[in-house]
Amino acid sequence: MKLLPPTDALALSRVAGPPTAAWFARLDALLVMVDADQAAELAQLPFGAALERERARLAPRAGQCYLLTLPTRRGLRVVVGIRAARADAFQSLTLAARMVREIAAVRPATIGIAALAEEAAAPAAREALLAALLVATQGRPAEKRRAPPRWRPRIAVCGRADLRTTAAVESAAHLTRWLTQLPPNVLVPGTYRRALAALARRHRWRMQVYDERALRRQGAGAFLAVAHGSARRDAALVRLEYRPRRAGRGRSAAPIALVGKGLCFDTGGLNLKAPKSMLDMHGDMAGSAVAVGLLAALSALDYPDPVDAWLALAENRIGPASYTQQDVVTAANGTTIQVMHTDAEGRMVLADTLALVSRTRPACIIDFATLTGACVVALTERLSGVFTNEERLRDIVEGAGRRAGERVWNLPMPADFDEDLDSPVADVVQCLLDGKGDHIYATRFLSRFVAAGIPWLHVDLSAAERTGGLAHVPTPTTGFGVRFGTALLADPAFKRALGRRRTRR
């Protein structure tokens, strides 16, 4: 089974001007998204009278779509989606996925995309359709003797749309989903490192590996406590460095640090999970996959500022050397931790990772982790929780989620929660055992390992897995975080809020 997805790109093209009958004649399928308050404009298209008659007959509501076949030489299948007036990105992506499902079964060879919306909204509608099509044509890791043929249509977008950005972001999100779906006997820390080395060569990233010996020298006792349970001695902290290609484009600025939890499998340790809870724990490395995918998207888009990705790769296995409840371990910043539950391993590996990242004095730390079930209870799997130590980032972060169609919600992290994390034998307890507010307590725990003065965002990926998919992604593994992260880092307000910090050498 391949560690990385195929890299062949779909054939994309853009057509200027309004749709014409000649353009229609070259298509096997057409996707048209129209605003509910502009639906009458369907009549202006070639064959528009038929489209308008069908719309009037069916009277679809906003968020619905309908399919009909036009009498062209190829028998053109047209799917019309009715977009709510002033629909946000999530609504547009969700409608786009419904529209793509209408034609996916017949796998047309040539597909057109058009939008009839107010001028400011039309590009977003087209990009939503393109994103949904890109996702629908992507495969997943599989080892089948009779694998189904891949669907590789030609896609023509009529009108203005940012094809390059959409294609780059969806390709990166596909990488995130691919890595997250790999079986746990295929993606272990050692093979993960091989995949990262291949990506580093492809994208010209610098790669540093801190293996267990190096982590021991750094005093990373919390990370190593989790790793000790595995018979494989391949746990590591991996640093990937992206630097802008052109000199003078922020190369000397302090990098933004992306941190990803990379537990390639989580048994729960000696506090063993039940079978149903353990079934999908090969996806407990989703945070690291988000960081990798986001770095790949930024590289493809020639992001102007330096970015590092720090990936905490380990397994939470059971073995003679497994860490146990009531152990006291020392983290890289000298903080002593009383272990309360071996299934709270994510905050252990992240604690040392955040402490080591802080030593490099980044401009900002953004960590991604499938950390707590409590965040799923609080928000469901439809959006993810975010915590920050910088009040000025709260509105910026939620705005990026709205624009991306990957919604995040700011959650509180009051300092008085620290009182409940006091330990009689160490500086801090790892977690509480009753589960109440665990997403908040986990964040307060992690905050002890972020050095003072460094802006920090913690993203608890409650939306990493959702039965039935989410927005334009039909699979349970959503890849949530890549679209959000790209929108956030591209936001001028985010850059202004961080200011221009210089790396300390």
Active site residues: 273, 347
Q: What are phi and psi of 426, to 5 degrees?
A: -145, 180
> What is the token pair recorded at 448?
């002890």
Question: How far does Cα 312 stand from its chain's mean position?
Answer: 16
- CA pair distance 338, 428, nearest whole angstrom: 6
Phi, psi of 30 (to 5 degrees): -135, 135
Instruction: Give the helix ranges, DSSP H, for 182-285.
Output: 189-203, 212-217, 221-227, 275-278
In one-letter notation, the amino acid at residue 303 is: Y
| Structural tokens at position 402 | 């709205």
Distance, in Å, from the CA atom of 206 to the CA atom of 189, rounded to the nearest integer, reads 18
Question: What is the spatial distance between Cα 112 and Cα 122, in angstroms, rounded to a whole number?
Answer: 15
Handedness of CA 3, 107, 405, 128 (dihedral sign): positive
Of the candidates 453, 215, 379, the one whose C-alpha atom is nearest the C-alpha of residue 313 is: 215
Phi-psi region of 219 (alpha: psi -120 to 50; beta: other; left: phi over 0): left
The CA distances from residue 453 to 49, 156, 441, 488, 501, in Å, are: 62, 48, 21, 20, 11
